[in-house]
Amino acid sequence: MRMYDIIRKKRDKEELTDEEIAFFIKGYTDGDIPDYQASALCMAIVLNGMSDRETAVLTDCMARSGDMLDLSRYGDKTVDKHSTGGVGDKTSLIVGPIAAALGATVAKMSGRALGHTGGTLDKLEAIPGYVTGLTDEEFFSVVDRAGMAIIGQTGNLTPADKKLYALRDVTATVDSIPLIVSSIMSKKLAAGSKNIVLDVKCGSGAFMKTLEDAEKLARSMVEIGRRCGRNMTALITDMDKPLGKAVGNALEVKEAIEVLRGNEKGDLYEVCVALASEMIALVKGIPAKDAEKQVIGAIEDGSAYKKMIEWVKTQGGDPRYIEDPSLFPAPKYAKRVCSPRDGYIGRMDAEKVGTTEVLLGAGRITKTDEIDHTAGLHIEKKTGDYVKKGDLLCTLYTGNEARFAEAEKRYLSGIVFSETAPAPVPLVYKIVR
Ligand code: URA
């Protein structure tokens, strides 16, 4: 079998056989197939898609490309949450501690920034001392002591996705339903949780721009998970504008802390309550409305915030940064971006906000780029807000002043002003159960 023929077949819109998909995944994981051939095949998949059978086989091969974690020691209380990727999406840092405070076991594997979207691991590494790479024994030890852990794909879990994820990030091959389904579900199946809640983002800052595509993605992942014996729920949530106000690694950790302290009650809080309620509903087998009361209670009584401190400390992080977020190193440079005119913000192109973040140094342009954890932006005005000329729209932060010019231009190019207020859109479009 030759990789050349597999690429050619997909380029010509033919279906790949189970054996061809298995050959690609094994060969790429083992290092026998080079990056340039893998990226050519990914691009052909982006352009020509895959059938349900091909997607299921790809997911299965990727899940089995390494070890599969056995979480059966925690019974049926394990719960995972995974987002398809967004801008300002720091929900894992919030819903993890809420679910763990309510008795669920959160043994979670997260990813790094992908394309214009942020990554939970990059955010967590902004906390001094926090260790994202643990052995299986260390991972179980943190979960045993704190009730939760969030790690990277360490050890030998889904090595195929580890390589493909990094490759897709820099080859414009992220936004494809079969590639996203196989990437997310291979990790979720290998990571072993019994209950899985998916946050499928929809809109300009998401890989799925339309509700129709987002629903297709959600149904495909729910179906694959169910077939593998997992309890699944997917929420389709808005990503037409960034979530919350902070975009960038340390900035987002600080915003997550404020939500858990009960100080932030905007869109981020609401999406987190919706996600955490579905997680608790699955774990406890109760209606989501009842779960919601418990979730809100865990924020209001401080138990979710205390759980964050306990988890971060157990995973090597310095808890003083959670107790006093002013300790996070300040970004070296700040630049105010002001409105060029009066009017409503009719639309924000959230993908452009995400690329602004990357241009400021908070994401990677090539596979080996170092992240600037202080970089990012703080948004003051969002879709639907009325602004006057000169009002502050956002503040940009970076460690390299030369990055401001392009970043500011990119940010402003994503704002569409209008004379009238835009119609509000729901935060949660749909729940696929
Ligand atoms: N998140 C993932 O883990 N993989 C993708 O392909 C997209 C989002």
Q: What's residue 156's pLDDT?
A: 84
CA of 272 to the centre of ligand 1 (A): 19
Task: State which ligand 1 atom lies nearest to the alpha carbon of 174.
Answer: 6
Out of 93-97, 143-147, 223-227, 276-280, pick the least confident.
223-227
> Mapping DSSP to helix (H, G, I), strand (E, B) and coil, where does residue 114 land?
strand
> Mapping DSSP to helix (H, G, I), strand (E, B) and coil, where does residue 362 land?
coil
Stronger pLDDT, 32 or 152, i.e. the higher one? 32
Residues in the chain: 433
CA of 181 to the centre of ligand 1 (A): 8
CA-based angle 81:86:89, to the nearest 5? 65
Measured distance CA(54)–CA(301) in Å, rounded: 48
Q: What's residue 189's pLDDT?
A: 93
Task: State which ligand 1 atom lies nearest to the alpha carbon of 184.
Answer: 3
Residue 380 contacts residue 393 (beta carbons within 8 Å): yes
Within 8 A by CB and 6+ apart from 374, the residues are 248, 249, 250, 328, 329, 330, 331, 332, 397, 398, 399
Mutational pocket test of ligand 1: of 183, 202, 237, the residue with most ligand atoms within 8 Å of the beta carbon: 183
Q: What topology does CATH give the domain 72-156+193-323?
A: Pyrimidine Nucleoside Phosphorylase; Chain A, domain 2 (3.40.1030)
Mean pLDDT, the chain, whole residue set: 95
Atom 2 of ligand 1: nearest residue by CA position: 184
Please give the average per-residue pLDDT across 70-95, as a whole number.
Answer: 95
Identify the CATH class of 3-49. Answer: mainly alpha
| Bridge pairing between strands 246-247 and 376-379 | antiparallel
| Bridge pairing between strands 148-151 and 106-109 | parallel
Identify the H or E element spanning 26: helix 18-30
CA of 174 to the centre of ligand 1 (A): 8
Please give the average per-residue pLDDT across 396-406, as a whole number.
Answer: 97
The predicted-structure confidence for 149-183, as pLDDT tens digits, reads as follows: 999 876 688 999 999 999 998 899 998 999 999 99
Q: Which residue in the list 116, 168, 284, 352 is annotated as catalytic?
A: 168
Residue among 421, 343, 419, 345 nearest 388 (CA) = 343
- The answer on pLDDT for 383 being more than 70 is yes
Q: What percent of the chain has pLDDT over 70?
A: 100
- Report domain extents, the chain: 3-49, 72-156+193-323, 331-418
Atom 8 of ligand 1: nearest residue by CA position: 84
Task: State which ligand 1 atom lies nearest to the alpha carbon of 117.
Answer: 8
Is pTM beyond 0.75? Reply is: yes
Residue 345 contacts residue 399 (beta carbons within 8 Å): no
- Is 168 noted as a catalytic residue in this protein? yes
Identify the H or E element spanning 237: strand 231-238
The separation between CA 339 and the C-alpha centre of its own chain, rounded to angstroms, equals 30
The band of 113, judged by pLDDT with boundaries at 50, 70 and 90, is: confident
Measured distance CA(363)–CA(231) in Å, rounded: 33
Please give the average per-residue pLDDT across 399-417, as a whole number.
Answer: 97
The predicted-structure confidence for 334-348, as pLDDT tens digits, reads as follows: 999 999 999 999 999
Pocket of ligand 1 (CB under 6 A): 84-85, 111, 114, 174, 179-180, 183-184
- Is 64 noted as a catalytic residue in this protein? no
Mutational pocket test of ligand 1: of 180, 239, 351, the residue with most ligand atoms within 8 Å of the beta carbon: 180
- Is 161 noted as a catalytic residue in this protein? yes
As beta bridge partners, residue 381 has: none
CA of 431 to the centre of ligand 1 (A): 19
Residue 80 contacts residue 193 (beta carbons within 8 Å): yes
Atom 1 of ligand 1: nearest residue by CA position: 84
Atom 5 of ligand 1: nearest residue by CA position: 180
Please give the average per-residue pLDDT across 84-104, as a whole number.
Answer: 96
- Is 378 noted as a catalytic residue in this protein? no
Q: What topology does CATH give the domain 331-418?
A: Aldehyde Oxidoreductase; domain 3 (3.90.1170)
The band of 98, judged by pLDDT with boundaries at 50, 70 and 90, is: very high
Q: What's residue 155's pLDDT?
A: 67
Residue 205 contacts residue 171 (beta carbons within 8 Å): no
The predicted-structure confidence for 363-382, as pLDDT tens digits, reads as follows: 887 777 788 999 999 999 99
Task: State which ligand 1 atom lies nearest to the alpha carbon of 207.
Answer: 7
CA distances, 376 to each of 87, 133, 229, 394, 404 (Å): 11, 24, 40, 10, 11
Mutational pocket test of ligand 1: of 184, 189, 208, the residue with most ligand atoms within 8 Å of the beta carbon: 184
Mutational pocket test of ligand 1: of 114, 182, 201, 224, the residue with most ligand atoms within 8 Å of the beta carbon: 114
Q: Which residue in the list 10, 82, 163, 381 is annotated as catalytic?
A: 82
